[in-house]
């Protein structure tokens, strides 16, 4: 299961040495609901190597503003606190795995 990332725990997540993958989503977003199970599966598959989490854009204004999220789903790939890549829109599991593997 992906970690729930909030305004309150973002810094703790960013302090992580591992690759961090954050899915920005909302309950009302159809494409977000499509990729949600994929993000949870990837969180289990990469446990201990990649921190994968989700941010509910309706509940975490500070995180959304910090990263300038305008469209969802958006997935950010972060290393040592810096965004190194991003993907906007729904993606397949194979696409996300390829991106994560390339960044590891």
Catalytic sites, residue numbers: 29, 32
What are the pLDDT tens digits along the chain (104 aa)?
999 999 999 999 999 889 999 999 999 999 999 999 999 999 999 999 999 999 999 999 999 999 999 999 999 999 999 999 999 999 999 999 999 999 99
What integer pLDDT is reported at residue 48 of this predicted model? 94
What integer pLDDT is reported at residue 45 of this predicted model? 97
Rounded CA-CA distance 104/72 in Å is 24
Give the domain ranges of the chain.
Answer: 3-103
What is the CATH code of the structural domain delimited by 3-103? 3.40.30.10
Using alpha carbons only, how large is the chain's radius of gyration in Å? 12
CB 103 within 8 A of CB 79: yes
What integer pLDDT is reported at residue 16 of this predicted model? 85
- Please give the backbone phi and psi of residue 9, each rounded to the nearest 5 degrees, phi first: -110, 10
What integer pLDDT is reported at residue 37 of this predicted model? 97
Instruction: Locate 22 and state its tokens.
Output: 């954050």
Residue 65, Cβ density class (10 Å: 0-12 exposed, 13-18 middle, ≥19 buried): exposed
């Amino acid at each position: 299961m992906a970690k729930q990332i909030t305004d309150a725990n973002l810094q703790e997540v960013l302090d992580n040495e591992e690759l961090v993958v954050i899915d920005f989503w909302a309950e009302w977003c159809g494409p977000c609901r499509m990729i949600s199970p994929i993000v949870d599966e990837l969180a289990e598959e990469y446990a201990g190597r990649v921190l994968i989490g989700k941010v509910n854009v309706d509940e975490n204004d500070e995180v959304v503003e910090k990263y300038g999220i305008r469209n969802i789903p958006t997935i950010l790939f972060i290393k040592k606190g810096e965004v190194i890549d991003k993907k906007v829109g729904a993606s397949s599991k194979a696409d996300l795995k390829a991106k994560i593997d390339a960044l590891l």
